[in-house]
Amino acid sequence: MAMALKLIPHLIAWFGIVLIMLRGFSGRRSAVLLAGIFGFVIGVAGTLILYRSYPGSITFGVVKSTLGISFILLWGSSVFAIYRSTGRGKDTLRGERLISASSTACAVSCLASIVAGAVCACKLSSFATGGAIATVSLLLMLVSCCALAYAALAFEKRLPEPFRVSPAGMLAIVTALLLFSASSILRLDLFSPLSMKVMKGVHDFVHQFMESVLFPDHLFVRSYIWKSIGLLFSKEVGFWGGLIIWFTPAVLIVTAIAIQRLPSVAHIRQGAERRLQSAAAIRERRHRLVIPVLSVVFFAAAAYQSSFPSVEYWDPKPLPVTANQAGEIIIPKKGDIDLEDGKLHKYLFKQGEREARFFVLLSPTGELTVDLDACAICKPDGYGQAEGSVICYYCKTLIPLETVGKPGGCNPVPIAFSVKSESVVIDGTTLINSWGATVQATTRVKEGGK
Amino acid sequence: MNRRRWLIHLVLRALAYRKGRTLLLLAVLAMASSLATALGIVSSSMEKRVAEEVRKYGANLVIFPESARLDIGSGGLNFGVVSEPAYLQQSIVEDALIKSELKAEVSFHLRGALHLKDADIMVEGVNFNDIKRLFPWWQLKGNWPAAGETVIGNDLASRMKLKTGDIVELGGGNKMRLRISGIVASGGEEDGLLFVALPELQQTLDLGGKISLVRLMVTAGGNTLKTSASDLQKLLPAAKVTEVRQTARTSEGLLAKVKLLMFMVTAVVLVSAGSSVAGTMSTTVLERSREIGLMKAMGGTRWEVMLIFCGEATLLGVLGAIAGYVFGSVIAQFITKTVFSASADIIPWFAGISLGVSLFLALLGSVGPMISVFKLDPVRSLRGE
Amino acid sequence: MSSIIIETSGLTRNYGDICALKPLDLVVPEGEWLTVMGHSGSGKSTFMNLVGGLDRPSAGSLRVGGKDLLAFTEDGLARFRREFVGIIFQQHHLVPYLTAVENVMLAQYFHSVPDEAEARSALERVGLGHRLKNRPGELSGGEQQRVCIARAIINSPKLLLGDEPTGNLDHKSTVMVMELLKELRAEEKFTVIMVTHNQEVAGWGDRTIYLDDGMLVREERKVEA
């Protein structure tokens, strides 16, 4: 049951979400539980309906945007929490009453469950071969999630009383759990696109800056400055920048709770009593820290899953090919390897000292495309194929199979080719030159965009 | 003052009170972790050094055609006889090497007999760049050959009375005119050969793309030489891949044996260190039983009192680890300098190993004492007899 | 009408075959100073340990401060002790590597949070304001016992137990310690149970009970003059 194994992050996330909801809104347990299960079913059903009616990218886009919105909400609430805990914002009474209303509890629980359900449904649909999802697996998942919800109810009753969760903490852990479960799905993952956007943003910014401010003049700028500027172009910038953006809200919430001032005990006269209250307050604050710290852990787990996905990329070792007398590379469409089986096939071509890597792929529209195993922006780490898209190893961008073959962005650089008598014919020299130009461009970019 | 700071303060005071015992424990822990660190660093540096030493012995794998038994030797070790010539296809071997992903230095050789003046001599076609890497012990008087030049072994040179700068004409098949650019002394059978560039010889003998022998120097890597050889053999069914036993086996075997020895020594030292720690901690607990009873009488739960002692053990472990890492690195440097005349690398993550060893010993040694702390009856210990 | 702080019924403690305390029924009202007298081996220390939650009775019931001590786990008893009971021993039992202030703070640490200012003022209250930073080794017997008193009452216990606290002291120190206890009791209003075999010390209490061979043999009440 490999499928069951793959669902584990989602099941953990669902269990955690229900548990937190029950603990956070204690006193309305049954209402919250029912709202949760209801929301989950709606989420699953809604996503599957969307998936059937519209192409996959739209469904995934919708769910991804929802996750993005919740992350931004978390950012907002974390900034608010820090602001409040430094003692400035005072009018929180309105907010408190809103939070403790019963309708809020159900609404929040419902919303969170809808998203959780949507994510699970997306995972199911990625198992589906050819668009049809086995009803059995769907029912199994729904049943197991209901069972988990009741298990969470039983577990929550056993949890010691002192563990409480603040509203900000609840938002943090729910978002963390949702992102954790989403990051195991390639197309829903937020962390890699985030770090890639950061990298591209910094790249563009520095590029513009260099061009507009500094003239490309060796005399003024020393080489070590170019080296450090080159650093800004690497994918590390994206990674660390993305990491900072990723973790900051949860860390802010932890800090907000940690620096919160303890209730004053100076009014108690008897020393022992005063100390008891003080100790109790410290202990209570520590308990409130548990959930936000856990959310940091889950954020880290999500980032880890995103960086080391358990998806196996189809990435065949490049086969060496040679050019014939006329300098053309001929690859038969159906020989040892069937070029038209929808998977990418990589080749390595050497001409003297120079070499080039390229691959041949049949796109879903039925056309063959030949592209370099590198793109115009990133280092030529190559491409892999998984789950209906092609991924650039360097920047982890997903390129849908339909757009492979079109130039631009992180798409692999297309190569002109012709089909003669059931074989693909590629001009060797063009290939080598194209590769050289692309690789040179990306290496130059690393050295400072000159 | 909050509770955590007070706990640290208490632990420090307790350790400072019994300076002698603290220092003893620190010394034991430092010694154990420094030994583990030193031997770990030495053994990981050794792998690199041994790989470099192996290079000096030259090729460790040979590929030759199944049907032939050739003169195989390397630097003075000869076994085997020449029989009928058989050849390997150079391109097939190259493909197989790419497929196997072996990291190796390769050199291709083609042997043939050619006529010089009035004698038949063995000529070997090689790529001279590869030769420089695989046969570092060759001593060349003169220069490496350019196009149209050749290098001759000193036995052959003295036999045929040739010297650097002479022009030789080789017959048999197509003729070759070559200038001797240098004389080579290898100490082995190569001294009786004439060396020309491989493509030229292939052309002369009309054996385009063929070779008689491939020598490989597989740089010591993840797989053992044996597995590399068998992997390569599977890719070359028409050829035979063998190890040059002497050097390969000995160096690998030696390395494994030395590692085992170091591991056993470390294990013995760790065991004795652990028992020493356990003994010292037990006596400490015995001595402090009144203190423990007092803490329990004051209202400390069993876990809280144990936490104090765990804190002591942990602090000792951490301090011992730091000292151990520093000493261990110094010792490792000393060992590698004297044994290998090289310097060891400074490996930062061995600090983690040192910490692990030290903490493990400290906490393991205190398991027994902790249990008696846990079980201690305050009434009995406070009876004040 | 004062409430009852200790109530025992059939309280027994056996060590194997030896019966250290035979079934004892006793009621102690809050705020009383009870002296327990007897020869060594009469079970007085056993009684004190049981009442203070340091030991578990073999049989019978024991209620202290309204709480049933038999229902507590060992850690629960520790938590009960830290808030409710202060103990002074004959042997002082001060931690040798901590100063006087730190010894008091140790009791605070196990109770809740250490507070140096409070510890300092407690020591000043017992007359050791000038000896705060001294280790036990540098203090006289009387001073050590006073530190113990400060440590015992720092957490405002309702019950103060003393196991022959003046046994090792000379006469002058004994009087000083007993005076101090009387003052503190008048201020803080805790109950005192003092175990001793010294007749003079016994005279300080409101009520004296005599134990012999684990049994309560006599009870005397101090006559207010």
Q: Is residue A215 part of a domain?
A: no
**Least confident interval from A39-48, A382-391, B308-317, C78-87:** A382-391
Tens of pLDDT, residue by residue over C59-72, are 888 998 888 888 88
Looking at residue A447, what is its pLDDT?
47
Asked if B2 and A282 come within 8 Å (Cβ–Cβ), the reply is yes
Same domain? For A113 and A259 the reply is: yes
- Rounded-to-integer distance, Cα A158 and Cα A165, Å: 16
Instruction: Considering only residues C47 and A341, tell me which one the structure prediction assigns the higher pLDDT.
Output: C47
Q: Quote the distance between the C-alpha of residue A244 and its chain's center.
A: 14
Same domain? For A297 and A420 the reply is: no
- pTM score, two decimals? 0.70
Give the residue from A285, A307, A329 where a domain finishes: A307
Looking at residue B352, what is its pLDDT?
86
Determine how β-strand B176-185 pairs with β-strand B149-153.
parallel
Q: B303 contacts in C (CB within 8 Å)?
A: 75
- Please tell me if residue B98 touches chain A, with a CB cutoff of 8 Å: yes
C32 has a pLDDT exceeding 50 = yes
3-state DSSP assignment of residue B367: helix
Q: B291 contacts in C (CB within 8 Å)?
A: 93, 95
Tens of pLDDT, residue by residue over A1-27, are 566 677 788 888 888 888 888 887 777
B159 has a pLDDT exceeding 90 = no
Q: What is the largest CA-CA distance in chain A?
A: 100
Count up the domains in chain A and report the number.
2
Q: Determine the residue among C113, C121, C124, C154 to mutate to test chain A binding: the one whose Cβ has the most chain A Cβ atoms within 10 Å.
A: C113
Q: Determine the residue among C49, C97, C113 to mutate to test chain B binding: the one whose Cβ has the most chain B Cβ atoms within 10 Å.
A: C97
Mean pLDDT of C109-132: 89
Asked if C118 and A271 come within 8 Å (Cβ–Cβ), the reply is yes
Instruction: Considering only residues B82 and B212, tell me which one the structure prediction assigns the higher pLDDT.
Output: B212
Looking at residue B385, what is its pLDDT?
41
- Rounded-to-integer distance, Cα A179 and Cα A191, Å: 9
Instruction: Considering only residues B264 and B348, tell me which one the structure prediction assigns the higher pLDDT.
Output: B264
Residue A162 to chain C, least CA–CA distance (Å): 17
Average pLDDT, chain C: 87
DSSP C97: T
Average pLDDT, chain B: 81
Nearest CA in chain B to C91: B384
A142: CB partners within 8 A, 6+ apart: A40, A41, A44
- Rounded-to-integer distance, Cα A104 and Cα A31, Å: 11
Instruction: Considering only residues C79 and A269, tell me which one the structure prediction assigns the higher pLDDT.
Output: C79
Range A392-407 burial, b when 16+ CB lie within 10 A, else e: bbbbbbbbebeebbee
Residue for token pair 């060797």: A428
Is residue B114 packed enough to be buried (19+ CB in 10 Å), middle (13-18) or exposed (0-12)?
A: buried
> Which range among A79-88, A146-155, B67-76, C93-102 has the greatest average pLDDT?
C93-102
Among B275, B265, B325, B264, residue whose Cα is nearest residue B25: B275
Instruction: Considering only residues B255 and C186, tell me which one the structure prediction assigns the higher pLDDT.
Output: C186
Task: Give the percent of chain B with pLDDT over 70.
Answer: 85
B110: CB partners within 8 A, 6+ apart: B87, B124, B125, B126, B198, B201, B202, B205, B207, B210, B211, B212, B213
Task: Give the percent of chain C with pLDDT over 90.
Answer: 21
- Rounded-to-integer distance, Cα B189 and Cα B74, Å: 8
**Least confident interval from A165-179, A219-233, C162-176:** A219-233
Beta-bridged to residue C184, according to DSSP, are none
In B55-171, the DSSP E strands lie at 61-65, 72-74, 77-79, 88-89, 104-116, 119-126, 139-142, 149-153, 167-171
Q: Which fold, C30-55+79-221?
A: Rossmann fold (3.40.50)
Looking at residue A225, what is its pLDDT?
67
DSSP states along A23-34: HHTTT-HHHHHH
Q: C96 contacts in B (CB within 8 Å)?
A: 17
Determine how β-strand B149-153 pairs with β-strand B104-116.
unpaired
- Please tell me if residue C78 touches chain B, with a CB cutoff of 8 Å: yes
Tell me how far apart the terminal alpha carbons of chain C are, to the nearest angstrom. 22
Looking at residue A78, what is its pLDDT?
87
**Least confident interval from A137-146, A218-227, C103-112:** A218-227
Q: A279 contacts in C (CB within 8 Å)?
A: 112-113
- Rounded-to-integer distance, Cα B182 and Cα B179, Å: 9
**Least confident interval from A88-92, B309-313, C108-112:** A88-92
Are A392 and A409 contacting, i.e. CB atoms less than 8 angstroms apart? no
- Please tell me if residue C15 touches chain B, with a CB cutoff of 8 Å: no
Same domain? For A116 and A191 the reply is: yes
Looking at residue A422, what is its pLDDT?
79
Give the residue from A307, A340, A362 where a domain finishes: A307
Determine how β-strand C59-64 pairs with β-strand A319-321.
unpaired
CB atoms within 10 A of CB C219: 11
Same domain? For A242 and A386 the reply is: no
Q: Where are the domains of chain C?
A: 30-55+79-221
- Rounded-to-integer distance, Cα B163 and Cα C117, Å: 100
- Please tell me if residue B4 touches chain A, with a CB cutoff of 8 Å: no
Same domain? For A325 and A292 the reply is: no
Looking at residue A450, what is its pLDDT?
39
Among A326, A315, A317, residue whose Cα is nearest residue A425: A326
Same domain? For A296 and A334 the reply is: no
Is residue A233 packed enough to be buried (19+ CB in 10 Å), middle (13-18) or exposed (0-12)?
A: buried
Q: C73 contacts in B (CB within 8 Å)?
A: none
- Please tell me if residue B120 touches chain A, with a CB cutoff of 8 Å: no
Residue C120 is encoded by which pair of tokens?
Answer: 């300092």
Residue for token pair 């090289």: B342
B268 has a pLDDT exceeding 90 = yes
Q: A279 contacts in B (CB within 8 Å)?
A: 3
CB atoms within 10 A of CB A318: 19
Looking at residue A95, what is its pLDDT?
58
Asked if C113 and A273 come within 8 Å (Cβ–Cβ), the reply is no
Are B293 and B380 contacting, i.e. CB atoms less than 8 angstroms apart? yes
Residue B49, CA distances (Å) to B103, B337, C16 in order: 17, 12, 70
Among A347, A416, A408, residue whose Cα is nearest residue A375: A408
Instruction: Considering only residues C217 and B51, tell me which one the structure prediction assigns the higher pLDDT.
Output: C217
Range of the domain at A421: 319-446
- Rounded-to-integer distance, Cα C176 and Cα C144, Å: 12
| Model confidence band, residue A394 (pLDDT cutoffs 50, 70, 90) | confident
Looking at residue B82, what is its pLDDT?
52
A71 has a pLDDT exceeding 80 = yes
Task: Give the percent of chain B with pLDDT over 90.
Answer: 14
B69 has a pLDDT exceeding 60 = no
When CB atoms are compared, the residue of A272, A278, A280 closest to C156 is A272
Residue B95 sits at the vertex; the CA angle it makes with B91 and B98, to the nearest 5 degrees, is 140
**Least confident interval from A109-123, B61-75, C204-218:** B61-75
A215 has a pLDDT exceeding 70 = no
Instruction: Considering only residues B53 and B280, tell me which one the structure prediction assigns the higher pLDDT.
Output: B280
Same domain? For A106 and A33 the reply is: yes
Residues of chain C contacting A, Cβ within 8 Å: 83, 108, 111-113, 115, 118, 122, 154-156
Residue for token pair 């010993």: B361
Q: Is residue A252 part of a domain?
A: yes
Residue B279 is encoded by which pair of tokens?
Answer: 């003994």
Tens of pLDDT, residue by residue over C39-59, are 887 888 888 888 888 888 888
